Structure 1
Amino acid sequence: MSNGTTMLWAGRILTGLFALFMLGASIAPKLLHLPVAEDTLAELGWPAGYAFPIGLIELACLVLYLIPRTSVLGAILMMGLLGGAMATQIRAGSPLFSHVLFSLYLGLFMWGGLWLRAPDLRRLFPLRGWT
Structure 2
Amino acid sequence: MTENQMLWTGRVLTVLFALFILGASVAPKLLGLPIAEETMRQLGWPSGYAFGIGVLELTLLALYLYPRTNVLGAVLFMGLLGGAMATQMRNGSPLFSHTLFSVYLGLVMWGGLWLRDAAVRQLFPVRRD
Question: Could you say what the CA RMSD is over the residues aligned between the two structures, in angstroms?
Answer: 0.8
Q: Which runs of 5+ in 1 are unaligned?
A: none
TM-score (norm 1): 0.96
Residue 35 (structure 2) aligns with? 36
Residue 107 (structure 2) aligns with? 108
Q: Deviations over 1:69-114 (max 9, x none)?
A: 0000000010000000000000000000000000000000000000
Number of equivalences: 128
Residue 15 (structure 2) aligns with? 16
Residue 51 (structure 1) aligns with? 50
Q: 1:20, CA displacement in angstroms?
A: 0.1
Cα distance in structure 1, aligned partners of 2:43 and 2:121 = 37
Cα distance in structure 2, aligned partners of 1:121 and 1:127 = 11
Residue 91 (structure 1) aligns with? 90
Task: Give the % identical residues.
Answer: 70
TM-score (norm 2): 0.98
Paired AA for residue 38 in structure 2: D
Which portions of structure 1, spanning 4 or more consecutive aligned residues, are displaced by more than 2 angstroms? none
Residue 118 (structure 2) aligns with? 119
Cα distance in structure 2, aligned partners of 1:53 and 1:115 = 29
